[in-house]
């Protein structure tokens, strides 16, 4: 939610057409509802725990009913204290069965100062067009996402790739202020990106370069870059992705902060 609001405030999210709604009669509350009007047409709701009864009242109001009846129900980042009442309320007003899953959220909360080093023969750059295409093709969630939309996002949020570079003859410390964009034609052999809400993810390393710590390097670098640019670095790890969970548990500065719930149509 924070990253989405920040991107919108900076005028950087026009391509994703986020609509943000604060209840007109309860503007002093912390209730925020936002939705994407393109591509995935998803939604999220936030409120403080003590505001859950007020949230349910808002959800049963005419404006919210108009929103959920015109969009597929695909709600994410729902807090534990919200999820059951939100699920029950949605099923009541839509008169159909929904389901939920729960994943883990890891956040980069402590800035690390130890230098990050790129191995000899390699370089880290921000993704160009071919790198973003590779990133979309190599993950299970965003294969059909718009390449142009993610290229637009990559101009504003860090999207990193690791590339072969025979001119780099020795290990080199990575300077956060000196990471250039790769040319559009260059294809990395590993990358990490951001979803449209700013969550770190889409990590992929070519099978020939795994077990070298490159995934951890890129993820740690993403945390530092996002923090330095004013974003809230976080990542959602799905409940069955044990490998990613183990990586985050070992990364300095990252820790599991809470669970993220998802609500979607029952299969």
Q: Which of 140-144, 153-157, 176-180 has the highest mean pLDDT?
A: 176-180
Q: Indicate whether 36 pLDDT > 80.
A: no
pLDDT by residue (tens digit) across 157-178? Answer: 899 999 999 999 999 999 999 9
Helix (H) or strand (E) holding 200: strand 200-205
Residues 6 or more apart in contact with residue 83 via CB below 8 angstroms: 100, 102, 261, 263
Pairing outcome for strands 32-36 and 43-46: antiparallel
Mean pLDDT of 250-256: 92
pTM of the model as a whole: 0.85
CA distance 85 to 91: 10
CA distance 70 to 87: 18
Residue 16 pLDDT level (bands cut at 50, 70, 90) = low
Residue of 101, 158, 102, 119 lying closest to 135 (CA atoms): 158
| Residues above pLDDT 90, as percent of the chain | 57
Q: Indicate whether 181 pLDDT > 70.
A: yes
CB 55 within 8 A of CB 82: yes
User: Any idea which of 95-99, 145-149, 175-179, 238-242 has the lowest mean pLDDT?
Assistant: 145-149
DSSP letter for each residue of 138-177 = TSSSSTTS-HHHHHHHHTTS--EEEEE-TT--S-EEPPGG
User: Any idea which of 147-151, 181-185, 243-247 has the lowest mean pLDDT?
Assistant: 147-151
Q: Indicate whether 77 pLDDT > 90.
A: no
End-to-end CA distance of the chain: 27
CB 47 within 8 A of CB 80: no
CB 252 within 8 A of CB 220: yes
pLDDT by residue (tens digit) across 204-235? Answer: 999 999 999 999 999 999 999 999 988 999 99
């Amino acid at each position: 939610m924070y990253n989405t609001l920040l991107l919108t405030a900076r005028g950087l999210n026009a391509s994703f057409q986020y609509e943000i709604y604060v209840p007109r009669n309860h503007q002093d509350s912390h209730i925020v509802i936002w939705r994407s009007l393109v591509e995935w047409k998803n939604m999220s709701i936030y409120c403080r725990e003590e505001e859950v009864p007020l949230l349910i009242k808002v959800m049963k109001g005419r404006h919210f009913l108009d929103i959920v009846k015109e969009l597929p129900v695909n709600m994410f980042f729902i807090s534990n204290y919200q999820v059951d009442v939100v699920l029950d309320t949605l099923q009541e007003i839509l008169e159909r069965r929904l389901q939920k899953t729960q994943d883990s959220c890891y956040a980069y909360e402590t800035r690390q100062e130890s230098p990050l080093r790129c191995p000899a023969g390699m370089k880290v750059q921000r993704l160009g067009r071919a790198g973003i295409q590779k990133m979309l093709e190599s993950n299970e969630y965003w294969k059909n996402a718009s390449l142009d939309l993610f290229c637009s996002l990559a101009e504003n949020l860090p999207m990193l790739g690791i590339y072969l570079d025979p001119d780099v003859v020795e290990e080199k410390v990575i300077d956060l202020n000196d990471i250039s964009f790769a040319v559009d034609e260059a294809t990395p052999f590993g990358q990490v990106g951001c979803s449209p809400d700013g969550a770190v993810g889409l990590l992929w390393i070519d099978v020939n370069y795994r077990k070298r710590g490159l995934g951890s390097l890129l993820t740690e670098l993403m945390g530092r870059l996002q923090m330095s640019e004013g974003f809230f670095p976080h990542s959602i790890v799905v409940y069955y992705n044990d490998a990613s969970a183990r990586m985050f548990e070992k990364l300095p500065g990252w820790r599991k902060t809470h669970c993220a719930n998802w609500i979607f149509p029952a299969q």
